[in-house]
């Protein structure tokens, strides 16, 4: 990588989140010298005028769009309006403002929930828009699909005339340091870590886990995703374009391994050191029965995940213990 590349100004949207934070760290570790970001207090990404003013003032060369409103099944099911509106506005404002300000390279980070509830497993990129979505996170999924199509549409209309190159990646379920450990609004791994830890401290006889424990999920450490993000962003344009199409340009990012929620609970229980029972509450919806993404394309291009689940969970638990308070 030449020095001029490392000197480019890079804006990471969502730097306080788990994904954005890891991307910022990975960029710094890779030698990038001009990484910029703004807190929500400094820049409300839902405000179109403010976002546009920021882009014209800063003129970044590259954008990593990792900002999003995220949460687990409970949050998605109870706040559908916020999940679709906030994410649509964030994406539209950043992508359109980036284009207006002359940004040539942008990477949009989506989610594997874009695929149909009963998609063939593992889910290949061409499963997109082939069936109905999982109802509990449909608003979030639709927003992420819109983000993919925004990037594709800008590339189709302005790729040749303006030289833009807006790419999209679809990560599987993520975990790692700086996750959200909220009691109800978190994803499955941080939720379990908190529950098992509190049960251990409070000497509870059992821990209740939402759902039947039967669904299978794939998990990817956030640091693996950050490395994959840089890999895809810096992939030679001819190689990238020869492996995707104008109407299907996203690339799956995953670990290639899946575990049942019951298996995951056993792993986290052992890492935390909890000795009580685990009870599954089948009155809570399970979500999709399986969500394993096909990583054949990204693996063929030269990237593979490197952090095994057990190792990553131990690191994540250490991060949880290091927090002074848990909101």
Contact 293, 251 (CB under 8 A): no
Torsion of CA 169, 172, 178, 183, to 10 degrees: 140
Selecting among 64, 115, 140, 181, the annotated active-site residue is 140
- What is the CB neighbour count within 10 angstroms for residue 274? 22
CA–CA gap between residue 20 and residue 45 (Å, rounded): 14
Cα Rg, the chain, nearest whole Å: 20
Q: Quick one: DSSP state of residue 225? A: H
**β pairing state of 277-281 and 206-210:** parallel
Q: Quick one: DSSP state of residue 67? A: -
Catalytic residue check, 85: no
Closest by CA position to 177, among listed 13, 317, 271? 317
**In angstroms, what CA-CA distances link 31 with 7, 64, 230, 272?**
9, 16, 12, 36
List the beta strands (DSSP E) in 144-285: 165-171, 173-175, 206-210, 216-221, 250-253, 258-260, 277-281
Residue 219's DSSP bridge partners are 173
Chain-centre distance for alpha carbon 260: 20
CA–CA gap between residue 215 and residue 36 (Å, rounded): 39
Sheet containing strand 165-171, strands side by side: 34-36, 9-13, 62-65, 105-109, 165-171, 250-253
Closest by CA position to 12, among listed 108, 149, 148? 108
Residues with a catalytic annotation lie at 140
């Amino acid at each position: 990588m030449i020095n001029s590349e490392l000197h480019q100004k890079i804006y990471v949207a969502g730097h306080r989140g788990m994904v954005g934070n890891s991307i910022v760290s990975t960029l710094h570790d890779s030698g990038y010298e001009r990484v910029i970001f703004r807190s929500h207090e400094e820049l409300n990404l839902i405000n179109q005028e403010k976002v546009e003013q920021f882009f014209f003032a800063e003129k970044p060369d590259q954008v990593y769009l990792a900002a999003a409103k995220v949460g687990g099944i409970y949050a998605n099911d109870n706040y559908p309006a916020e999940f679709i509106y906030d994410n649509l506005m964030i994406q539209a404002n950043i992508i359109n403002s980036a284009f207006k300000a002359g940004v040539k390279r942008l990477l949009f980070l989506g989610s594997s929930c874009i695929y149909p509830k009963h998609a063939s497993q593992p889910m290949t990129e061409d499963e997109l828009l082939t069936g109905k979505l999982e109802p509990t996170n449909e608003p979030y999924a639709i927003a992420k699909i819109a983000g993919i199509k925004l990037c594709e549409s800008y590339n189709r209309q302005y790729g040749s005339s303006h030289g833009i190159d807006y790419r999209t990646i679809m990560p599987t379920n993520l975990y790692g340091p700086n996750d959200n450990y909220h009691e109800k609004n978190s994803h499955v791994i941080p939720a379990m870590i908190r529950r098992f830890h509190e049960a251990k401290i409070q000497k509870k006889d059992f821990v209740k886990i939402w759902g039947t424990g039967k669904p299978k999920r794939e998990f990817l450490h956030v640091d693996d995703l950050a490395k994959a993000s840089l890999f895809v962003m810096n992939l030679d344009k001819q190689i990238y374009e020869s492996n995707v199409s104008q109407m299907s340009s996203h690339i799956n990012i995953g670990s290639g391994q899946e575990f049942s929620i019951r298996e995951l609970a056993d792993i986290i229980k052992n890492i935390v050191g909890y000795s009580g029972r685990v009870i599954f509450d089948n009155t809570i919806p399970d979500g999709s029965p399986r969500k394993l993404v096909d990583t054949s394309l990204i693996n063929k291009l030269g990237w593979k995940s490197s952090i095994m689940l057990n190792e990553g969970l131990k690191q994540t638990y250490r991060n949880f213990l290091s927090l002074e308070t848990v909101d």
